[in-house]
Structure 1
Amino acid sequence: MKVRRQAIVRSLALSAAALALGAPGLAFAQAKIKVAAAYTVPYEQAWVSRLHKALKAAEARGEIEYKSTENVTNADYERVLREYANGGAQLIVGEAFAVETASRKVAKDFPKTAFLMGSSGKPQQPNFSVFDNYIQEPAYLTGMIAAGMSKTHKIGMVGGFPIPEVNRLMNAFMAGAREIDPKTTFSVTFINSWFDPPKAKEATLAMIDQGADVLYAERFGVSDAAKERGKLAIGNVIDNQPQYPDTIMATALWAMEPSIDHAIAQVKAGKLEAEDYAPYSLMKNKGSSLAPLGTFEKKIPAELVAKVKAREAEILSGKFAVKVDNNTPKSSPK
């Protein structure tokens, strides 16, 4: 009996050690949490694609069970959030820009569920954290490239809605352009939609007709117009240069992985304190970056590339801070 008891004790000790060390199939299985996401646009929409990609990566690693719904209407958003919360989701991710009241109401009703929502508002204790694509730093760098490559000194910019998350990127882009060429002028249009490529293309064509030879593609559809007319474009959030190798020169990339990984870690640790996740999108935290120049590596003058790289290094080191300007950008006076 004594020998048997010793064997049992050793077995329990080994099991505990395996859990502590993260042995496959033990701690890993226990660590998996339920995550759900509700998106108001298709998965391929640039902004949402970053969230979906980061969550799918966590799912592939076996850290989470992931469910999601795309193209949720504003009127139906609250119902979808409640269904996920009632279904046992421990973390719910989405974008609340047009459904702030509904999203925050659901979070209040489910205080033990963590919410991480794209929002222009502040965190709401105890469980409603907010984030956005805080990528004004690489946006500034793309502005430098845009102005350096423009021959007409006219840049067209097409955005979705004039909200802080969009405004600060456009303003940073414009500031970067002015650093290289103070004479640069801008045409700014908002299509009042998050996903309407035909409308964005139409607005872009009008800017090209007015002399713009570089276009800032905050929305899908802009690069199509630029390609059609043989003009240059700057991408945003995702790198679409492979689809537009002769059009898109540079892109301010957004990586949602740092934010998602932090949220998952917080839920695993049983922490629900609401936070502002904006810092996780900074370049120093690997939440954003300037995409490789790719097909334009030899087309952009070496002197301009050197200026961009020098400024990038200063941003990463903290020597240069890109101003956060949430005001609605305006077209240059005619």
Structure 2
Amino acid sequence: MTRRHFLASAAAAALAIGLFSGAGRALAAEPIKVAGVYTVPVEQQWVSRLHKAATAAAERGDIDYAFSENVSNTDYARVMREYAESGYQLIIGEAFAVEQEARDVAAEYPDIAFLLGSSFKEDGALPNFAVFDNYIQDASYLTGIIAGSMTETGNVGLIGGFPIPEVNRLMHAFMAGVRETRPDATFQVSFIGSWFDPPAAKETAFAMIENGADMLYAERFGVSDAAKEKGVLAIGNVIDTQEQYPDTVVASAIWNFEPTLNMAIEQVRNGTFEAADYGTYSYMAEGGAELAPLGTFKGKVPQEAIDLVEARTGEIMSGDFTVEINDEEPKSQ
């Protein structure tokens, strides 16, 4: 148990309402006990959004929140079982590398709700296991429009962790946006084979810059560092890092996990939690995605691009425009 895990769980209530009690939410309802199991530090982009939402829910008094970070794949099921045995009612995390093991644990504890990031769908035979994903392709597409208007060479680099659907779809959406304002753009695409290896991401970015890229899609930490050092621009993913890179990060596609987690909390509280795909709660229309403020780049992005972003945003929110979801591995082109 890490020190942060201890501090987060120290205030956990001794008593908690039952998962499937069916009781309505009362003013003095006990907070729901929620545990996060993460394979990377909570500062990592993707996991930081889960942690942020859970921390906010804990501060509201809706949940008691504990978490374990840097859990290896081989230990993941064991940590899940420990939380299940300790009376936690909702377990969140990521099952991408431990899909079968995570589902096996859920089957052992049918009265506990599991909400895990997954590349696969829910299974009706496992009613307490729901899945989610960061479907923020809408915001990624909008950042692409901006990126295409800001690149001078039309040579754009994209660096990701692994070529899995949740990464692939964002890259494809970003490239589609770039083509809106730079139809002749070319793309360098590479994956570093890790979810958290800033040095590797940085070195890959250096190679792309050497090969002519003047705009980088920073799906991983480390990319923006390379962009900053070499004086090129970058687009952020999942979180807004412009404060750390005020002259480098032009725009970012933000993922808000709050709609996903809040729905799960409500369903656990009401005894209605079931196998489902929570992915739609990451859509822009649901408040799960947004374009970060331009900040230091306000006034520097061409007005034509701003106008197109505003028009597309309205169309996305109204349902008149749909960003294609393409989960296939993107290639350099």
What's the TM-score once normalised by structure 2's chain length?
A: 0.91
Determine whether 1:70 maps to 2:69. Answer: yes
Q: Which whole-Å CA distance do the structure 2 matches of 1:314 and 1:187 have between them?
A: 30
Is the CA contact (8 Å cut-off) linking 1:28 and 1:62 kept in structure 2? no
1:155 corresponding residue in structure 2: 156
Moved over 4 A (4+): none
2:12 corresponding residue in structure 1: none
2:314 corresponding residue in structure 1: 313
CA shift for structure 1 position 303? 1.8
Q: Aligned letter for 1:207?
A: M
2:145 corresponding residue in structure 1: 144
Q: Deviations over 1:268-327 (max 9, x none)?
A: 001231110011011111000011111101111112211111111111111110000000
Determine whether 1:196 maps to 2:177. Answer: no
Q: Which whole-Å CA distance do the structure 2 matches of 1:246 and 1:225 have between them?
A: 13
1:169 corresponding residue in structure 2: 170
2:240 corresponding residue in structure 1: 239
1:115 corresponding residue in structure 2: 114
CA shift for structure 1 position 111? 0.6
1:37 corresponding residue in structure 2: 36
1:180 corresponding residue in structure 2: 181
Is the CA contact (8 Å cut-off) linking 2:239 and 2:252 kept in structure 1? yes
Q: Which whole-Å CA distance do the structure 1 matches of 2:322 and 2:222 have between them?
A: 31
Task: Give 3-state SS (helix, strand or coil) of 1:75's partner.
Answer: coil
Q: Deviations over 1:236-258 (max 9, x none)?
A: 00000000000000000000000
Q: Which whole-Å CA distance do the structure 2 matches of 1:152 and 1:78 have between them?
A: 48
Q: Which whole-Å CA distance do the structure 2 matches of 1:30 and 1:281 have between them?
A: 28
CA shift for structure 1 position 99? 0.6
Task: Give 3-state SS (helix, strand or coil) of 2:104's partner.
Answer: helix
Q: Which whole-Å CA distance do the structure 2 matches of 1:29 and 1:331 have between them?
A: 56
2:87 corresponding residue in structure 1: 88
Q: Which whole-Å CA distance do the structure 2 matches of 1:126 and 1:299 have between them?
A: 50
Is the CA contact (8 Å cut-off) linking 2:24 and 2:270 kept in structure 1? no
Determine whether 1:272 maps to 2:297. Answer: no
1:58 corresponding residue in structure 2: 57
Task: Give 3-state SS (helix, strand or coil) of 2:313's partner.
Answer: helix
Q: Which residues of structure 2 form unaligned runs of 5+?
A: 1-22
Q: Which whole-Å CA distance do the structure 2 matches of 1:310 and 1:67 have between them?
A: 42
Rg (Cα) greater in structure: 1
Task: Give 3-state SS (helix, strand or coil) of 1:189's partner.
Answer: strand
Q: Aligned letter for 1:117?
A: L
Q: Which whole-Å CA distance do the structure 2 matches of 1:52 and 1:288 have between them?
A: 16
Mapping for residues 210-249 of structure 1, pairs under 5 Å: 210-249=211-250
Q: Which whole-Å CA distance do the structure 1 matches of 2:218 and 2:28 have between them?
A: 42
1:15 corresponding residue in structure 2: none
Q: Which whole-Å CA distance do the structure 1 matches of 2:132 and 2:109 have between them?
A: 20
Q: Aligned letter for 1:92?
A: I
Segment drifting more, 305-314 vs 79-88 = 305-314
Name the CA shift for 1:174/1:109 in 2 (closer, same or farther; >3 Å). Answer: same
Is the CA contact (8 Å cut-off) linking 1:31 and 1:268 kept in structure 2? no
Q: Which whole-Å CA distance do the structure 2 matches of 1:187 and 1:301 have between them?
A: 24
Select the structure that is richer in helix. Answer: 1
Is the CA contact (8 Å cut-off) linking 2:264 and 2:273 kept in structure 1? no
What's the TM-score once normalised by structure 1's chain length?
A: 0.91
Is the CA contact (8 Å cut-off) linking 1:112 and 1:272 kept in structure 2? no
Q: Aligned letter for 1:132?
A: D
Q: Which whole-Å CA distance do the structure 2 matches of 1:210 and 1:84 have between them?
A: 48
Fraction of identical pairs, as percent: 61
CA shift for structure 1 position 21? 11
1:127 corresponding residue in structure 2: 128
Q: Which whole-Å CA distance do the structure 2 matches of 1:21 and 1:70 have between them?
A: 33
Q: Aligned letter for 2:261?
A: I
Q: Which whole-Å CA distance do the structure 1 matches of 2:215 and 2:69 have between them?
A: 32
Q: Which whole-Å CA distance do the structure 2 matches of 1:306 and 1:194 have between them?
A: 35
Of structures 1 and 2, the one scoring higher in RCO (CA 8 A, sep 6+) is: 2
CA shift for structure 1 position 30? 2.4
Is the CA contact (8 Å cut-off) linking 2:165 and 2:327 kept in structure 1? yes
